[in-house]
Structure 1
Amino acid sequence: MRRRQLGNQGLSVSAIGLGCMGMAGVAGMQAMYGAVDLDEAVATIHRAIDLGVDFFDTAEIYGPYINEELLGRAIKGRRDGLVIATKFGFRIVDGRAQGADSSPANIRKVCDESLQRLGIEVIDLLYQHRVDPAVPIEETVGAMAELVAAGKVRFLGLSEAAPETIRRAHAVHPISALQSEYSLWERTVEPDILPVCRELGIGFVPYSPLGRGFLTGQVQRAEDYPATDYRRNDPRYQGENFDANMRAVAAVKAVADGHGATPGQVALAWLLHQGDDIVPIPGTKRRDRLEENVAAADLKLSTDDLAALDAAAPVGATSGERYGSAAMMAMVRR
């Protein structure tokens, strides 16, 4: 597995990481992307390590808590050389997020709890999961920096932050990575957020790099998923949006056919071609999908391939909002 640098502070990771969210769901939605099989999830993490993947992404809200515990169980005895990333930023009550909480007191509390659940002595990359409008970013990053000084955290990150927030945070302590949604069907970071990251020397970690599975082409309409599945309420899976977005997927499939690859591999390869500072973290809970995703690191796209993909899925062309609720939309780019 090739390696890439996130930021300029010395954080080196595999070119493709593993997003662990779907292995246990989020805030009560354990089956948000289909049934959960914890044993297969552990086997998938072990297979990832065998294939050279060393960058694993989780968060306290995943489960909540279950996902960190699962990852901790999977890496026990295999911790050396791995980069473990987790996130804080929500007030969790009765297993559900009840708004943001990036107060220094909560950050210190959550860090200790995450370390215990993961069974590790230091968190390699700690993200603020969502910006808390009630707490100045300088105060939040200041508390995170104290954890670095205490030896509990190695590197700092933000998620779904706006350009000015990124600048203010980076002025307090170097930010090594920004995690935000980025894929062929979600390119709105390109005009302003990616340029700021590159100006400041911050790496970029795309979550949902397969468009919540849509770019694989192996999806159904929203109404065909069970009520417990996240995609049931995803606007981009619904009605005319589904039809319009599938037309873009057809272009991805055409490029894939030319390489003897899958559409998902092409979607990941496209991201890797956008810059050496980009490290996608496709989520999966199955070994076969993991192996497919990892193979994308070796897929070379031609100039004509990239032009065809850009034409089929330009910035802002995807039909439908990113999230199905105003509350979720309000938590991004702030």
Structure 2
Amino acid sequence: MKKNQIGKSDLYVSELGLGCMSLGTSESKAKTIIDHALDSGINYLDTADLYDQGQNETIVGKAIRGKRDQIVLATKVGNHLKDDGSWFWDPSKAYIKKQVKDSLSRLQTDYIDLYQLHGGTINDPIDETIEAFEELRQEGLIRYYGISSIRPNVIKEYVKKSNIVNVMMQYSMFDRRPEESMLDFLNENDISVVARGPVAKGMLSDYASEKVQGKGKDGYLEYSYDRLLSMIEQLNTLSNEKAMTELALQYVLYHPAVASAVAGASSVEQLDNNLILKEAPALTQEMYQQLKEITYPIKYDKHR
């Protein structure tokens, strides 16, 4: 599978990443999915300390034992878990430096390749947060760091003040907000985008119509239910022999800023559906423009 460089780092990630949040809590099932992903050329695994209250990191750690050198391992921090299972936002230096040790223990590794702030607001102690990540780099506990955010004002602060190598952001044909200003801006600054949600909760998968009736019955972002159905119908007509999943993944990867599209998988079958990307012929510029004409850009109305 094609691999792309993350920013100016020496991390090269598969253009299709495995989002681990959907793995579930069965260790054997998760291991089967992760093994299949690695055998198929995926080397980028993305988890977070929040997923299943830390259990996801534990399951991933067990699944990759003995295979750590094959993997670019990413996790996230910032959601402070409480004993009752609730959480609160905590981007403080003290929490980040404590929590990384818990993540390392659960993941059964000595280092994290890509440590990401799991959100962020303009009112955070951003300088303090950056200081925490920089110290973790110096200590060898993380190799690089980034943020997971869709907020332009927050992203710009980190680009200006820090050494982030990536921004993870929600991006799909149904959520084109990053195209407004962020993709070009990050590309100009040699910072990569990792796209999450590229199939829009399955509404851009090969079961699109069925998923829209469920996930999109009350609309999605600025799209009404009827608009979603109309776009799916047009996309199906345009796709011809291409699968919807293939189109969705190729669309987000078309922009040079995007290094990897991270898609979850709760089964080997679902993973195989995403792996169609491996054999897909390149998306032409003409097809890319047609896809943009069928959908329409959504603008940020907050966090300016």
Quick check: TM above 0.5?
Answer: yes
Question: Is 1:293 the equivalent of 2:274?
Answer: yes
Partner Cα separation in structure 2 for residue 252 and residue 278 of structure 1: 24
Q: How does 1:245-284 map to 2 (within 5 A)?
A: 245-256=228-239, 258=240, 260-275=241-256, 277-284=258-265
Partner residue in 2 for 1:21? 21
Paired AA for residue 42 in structure 1: K
Return the match for 1:105 from 82, 94, 103.
Answer: 94
Q: CA RMSD in A?
A: 2.6
Partner Cα separation in structure 1 for residue 6 and residue 89 of structure 2: 26
Paired AA for residue 286 in structure 1: S
Cα deviation for residue 133 of structure 1 reads 5.0
Partner Cα separation in structure 1 for residue 93 and residue 288 of structure 2: 44
Change (3 A) 1:137 1:121: same
Partner Cα separation in structure 2 for residue 276 and residue 172 of structure 1: 20
Question: Is 1:213 the equivalent of 2:202?
Answer: yes
Partner Cα separation in structure 1 for residue 86 and residue 194 of structure 2: 23
| Aligned residue pair count | 301
Partner Cα separation in structure 1 for residue 4 and residue 212 of structure 2: 36
Structure 1, gaps ≥5 residues long: 25-35, 225-230, 323-328
SS at match of 2:59: helix
Once the two structures are superposed, what CA deviation does each residue of 1:126-172 show, in whole Å capped at 9, x if it has no partner?
00001155532121011111000000000111011533433332344
Structure 2, gaps ≥5 residues long: none
SS at match of 1:86: strand
Partner Cα separation in structure 2 for residue 55 and residue 218 of structure 1: 25
Once the two structures are superposed, what CA deviation does each residue of 1:282-318 show, in whole Å capped at 9, x if it has no partner?
111211221221221442222332122111112129x
Paired AA for residue 225 in structure 2: F
Return the match for 1:167 from 151, 156, 175.
Answer: 156
Query: Contact between 2:203 and 2:211, CA under 8 Å: does it hold in 1?
Result: no
Return the match for 1:152 from 128, 141, 159.
Answer: 141
Question: TM-score, with normalisation over the residues of structure 2?
Answer: 0.90
Partner residue in 1 for 2:60? 71
SS at match of 2:9: coil
Question: TM-score, with normalisation over the residues of structure 1?
Answer: 0.82
Cα deviation for residue 266 of structure 1 reads 1.0
Calculate percent identity across the aligned residue pairs: 28
Paired AA for residue 296 in structure 2: P
Question: Is 1:53 the equivalent of 2:42?
Answer: yes
Partner residue in 1 for 2:168? 179
Once the two structures are superposed, what CA deviation does each residue of 1:177-203 show, in whole Å capped at 9, x if it has no partner?
100100000001111221221122110
Cα deviation for residue 10 of structure 1 reads 1.9
Cα deviation for residue 175 of structure 1 reads 0.7
